Amino acid sequence: DGGVDSLEPRIKERLDFELFTIRTMGFAGYFLITQDFINKGREIGVMVGPGRGSAAGSAVAYCIGITNIDPIKYDLLFERFLNPDRKSMPDIDTDFDDEGRQRVIDYVVDKYGRNQVAQIVTYGTMAAKTSIRDAARVMDLPLADADRLAKLV
């Protein structure tokens, strides 16, 4: 176990590029805070998802335990997550079990301060016709009936 020097050149290059990008774009603190509350969640017995969305493409996130998905093994692109040519905030989606989620939020508020913490949520929407077809499927209505209803919208 020779540390960084024993890494395959392609892996070292990937990590060097990611670390350089994270540092120069000013997101090192974001990674460390995210790592902190994910580690705390695991430490207190909260179920934490393996990783979701474009953050699974970060080898740095994998190495520091933010995700449990090896992006190099699955040939995932870091640039989909954080691209030095685009000035945008990285988005690390993190899933916690329903009971443990509030415990992690309480930890973050206690550690970083209520005025430094905000909860962000994304709501998905469905088109009216798609909603009608999905509801009809759940209600075991024939597809022809669902299509006829959807066309009324």
Instruction: pLDDT tens for the chain, 153 residues: list them.
Output: 667 778 899 999 999 999 999 999 999 999 999 999 999 999 999 999 999 899 999 999 999 999 999 999 999 999 999 998 888 889 899 999 999 999 999 999 999 999 999 988 777 888 899 999 999 999 999 999 999 999 998
- How far is 122 from 117, CA to CA, in rounded Å? 17
For residues 26 and 91, membership in a common domain is answered with: yes
Q: How many domains does the chain have?
A: 2
For residues 139 and 112, membership in a common domain is answered with: no
N- to C-terminal Cα distance for the chain? 64
For residues 12 and 84, membership in a common domain is answered with: yes
For residues 72 and 107, membership in a common domain is answered with: yes
Asked whether the whole model's pTM tops 0.85, one would answer no
- How far is 150 from 144, CA to CA, in rounded Å? 10
For residues 38 and 70, membership in a common domain is answered with: yes
Q: Determine the structural domain holding residue 153 and report its residue range.
A: 123-153
Do 60 and 23 contact (CB within 8 A), yes or no?
A: no
